[in-house]
Amino acid sequence: MNDDDGSLEGVVAAHTVLSEVDGETGRLVIRGHELDEIAQRWRYEDVVALLFEGFFDTVPSQEALRAAIGRARREAFEQLQPNDADVLRRMSPIEAVRALMARLSDGDDLPTALRLLAAPAVYTAAVMRWRLGVQALAPNADLPHAADMLRMLHGLAPTAMQTAALDTYLVTVCDHGLNASTFAARVVASTGAGLTSAVLAGISALKGPLHGGAPGPVLDMLDAIGTAAHARVWLEEAVASGQRLMGFGHRIYRVRDPRADALKGALHRLGAEGSVDAARLELAEAAEQAALAILREKKPDRALETNVEFYTALLLEALGFGRESFTCVFAAGRVVGWLAHAREQVAKGRLIRPQSVYVGPAPEESSEGAGAV
Ligand code: ACO
């Protein structure tokens, strides 16, 4: 435990049934399921059912849940106002999504949770279209959540492989222990403020570049490298000049980041159907191999492996998300974790109220007091 750097590193602040991050063995367990097992096969709706189970009176299963999330997307869309496009396209996408989410009514019940769950997908697509000067598209409540998010963004039906790739992403980022945004959501939930307030706290924490803003720089790095043939030289020079290679290394994972493997698999499946630019894939593979070799030489005693951000960047880019929207797509996946953690915290029935140690100046003794007998 480090008690003076402000990070709370090593402090246990919750017991949770929702996820376990095992940095030593490189495993992520989502409520009893290895991420490796569910990331490729599950739809986002499946992980919603898993994480919500027991935290609401009744959680519909399978098709009924998918239909309920579809209706919730429609309810979120109905909140949009005629002048939103003009006002909100001037903000960063995550700030615009947060502003729209703040209009949703607060509460602690399942309908509130489903609206909050559905809304980031609807609002991300709307905001990104407004930035291109085109109208937002209404949800199709009959589609699976990931398929409809891609359709609302592009105005075209996605392929089954593209939908599966987005499902893999959303499932992969659904929850990750007591990360900063989840902790923020739990603190707000513990005050009894309601799920909307808790989710807004989560979005606000995610917005920071140290948490949700990292994959964009991975693409900036690949753009700067340019071609596969140039990867090794560029990366060697970068490391020699003291730069960090974006998308490599992790504070907790000391072996491998299981999320990177899940997303890499999805990217390669997309590549096999021709949905990824071949030159981009070649560049990414060359950059990854060169970076791992260089980092092994630099730090032979320390496993610096590919992290989640490297393949998030490539996968979301291949699915047609602009890099400025990556944090919003992250929120669309992580929102289920925030909601489940908020409910888990509320069930504990206690306000989160840690203590601080005062290290400021002592009050000066007043002249009156000093002279008193
Ligand atoms: N490139 C080059 N060297 C690195 C990298 C990297 N990506 N990561 C760590 N190192 C080196 C450091 O320079 C340091 O060397 P030194 O001891 O000679 O100073 C050593 O490895 C240990 O570095 P730390 O900062 O102590 O490692 P830590 O585990 O605390 O850092 C972090 C993790 C911040 C993610 C780091 O690996 C990094 O900056 N990576 C690049 C940025 C990135 O990809 N961020 C996204 C992370 S995933 C996520 O947050 C969801």
Distance 203 CA to ligand 1 centre (A): 24
Q: What is the mean pLDDT of residues 201-221?
A: 89
In this predicted structure, the answer to whether residue 351 has a pLDDT above a threshold of 80 is: yes
Q: What is the structure's pLDDT at 256?
A: 82
> Given pLDDT bands bounded at 50, 70 and 90, which one contains residue 1?
very low
Tokens at 82, concatenated: 């005629």
In 3D space, the residue among 266, 330, 250 whose CA is nearest the CA of residue 39 turns out to be: 266
Q: What is the pLDDT of residues 74-106, one digit of tens each?
A: 999 999 999 999 999 999 999 999 999 999 999
Does the CB atom of residue 168 touch ligand 1 within 6 A? no
Compute the radius of gyration of the chain from its Cα atoms. Answer: 22
SS3 248: strand
Tokens at 13, concatenated: 């602040």
The residue that leads in pLDDT, 199 or 252, is 199
Dihedral of CA 58/116/167/287: which sign?
Answer: negative
Q: What is the mean pLDDT of residues 308-337?
A: 96
Q: What is the structure's pLDDT at 370?
A: 52
Q: What is the structure's pLDDT at 124?
A: 98
> Given pLDDT bands bounded at 50, 70 and 90, which one contains residue 49?
very high
In this predicted structure, the answer to whether residue 117 has a pLDDT above a threshold of 90 is: yes
Q: What is the structure's pLDDT at 365?
A: 81
Q: At what angle do helices 308-318 and 215-225 cross, to 10 degrees?
A: 80
> Given pLDDT bands bounded at 50, 70 and 90, which one contains residue 10?
confident
What integer best gives the mean pLDDT of the chain?
A: 94
Q: What is the mean pLDDT of residues 24-50?
A: 97
In this predicted structure, the answer to whether residue 344 has a pLDDT above a threshold of 80 is: yes
User: For the chain, how many helices (H) and strands (E)?
Assistant: 17, 3
Q: What is the pLDDT of residues 273-301, one digit of tens each?
A: 999 999 999 999 999 999 999 999 999 98
> Given pLDDT bands bounded at 50, 70 and 90, which one contains residue 3?
low
Q: What is the pLDDT of residues 230-267, one digit of tens each?
A: 999 999 999 999 999 999 998 889 888 999 999 999 99
Q: How many CA atoms lie within 13 A of 366 on its CB side?
A: 3
Pocket test for ligand 1, best of 250, 261, 305, 316 (most atoms within 8 A of CB): 250
Share of the chain above pLDDT 90, in %: 89
In this predicted structure, the answer to whether residue 108 has a pLDDT above a threshold of 60 is: yes
Does the CB atom of residue 214 touch ligand 1 within 6 A? yes
In this predicted structure, the answer to whether residue 127 has a pLDDT above a threshold of 70 is: yes
Q: Is 309 a catalytic residue?
A: yes
Q: What is the structure's pLDDT at 343?
A: 98
Q: What is the structure's pLDDT at 368?
A: 59
Q: What is the structure's pLDDT at 333?
A: 98
Does the CB atom of residue 247 touch ligand 1 within 6 A? yes
Alpha-helical runs (H) found in 26-159: 35-38, 44-52, 62-78, 84-88, 93-101, 110-131, 145-154
CB 239 within 8 A of CB 245: yes
In this predicted structure, the answer to whether residue 332 has a pLDDT above a threshold of 60 is: yes
Does the CB atom of residue 221 touch ligand 1 within 6 A? no
Which of 45, 145, 176, 250 is flagged as catalytic? 250
Share of the chain above pLDDT 70, in %: 97
Q: Which ipTM value was assigned to this complex? A: 0.96
- The closest-lying atom of ligand 1 relative to the alpha carbon of residue 249 is 37
Q: What is the structure's pLDDT at 369?
A: 54
Q: How many CA atoms lie within 13 A of 326 on its CB side?
A: 24
In 3D space, the residue among 240, 237, 239, 262 whose CA is nearest the CA of residue 249 turns out to be: 239
What is the pTM for the complete model shown?
A: 0.94
Q: What is the structure's pLDDT at 367?
A: 58
Residue linked to tokens 């032979």:
300
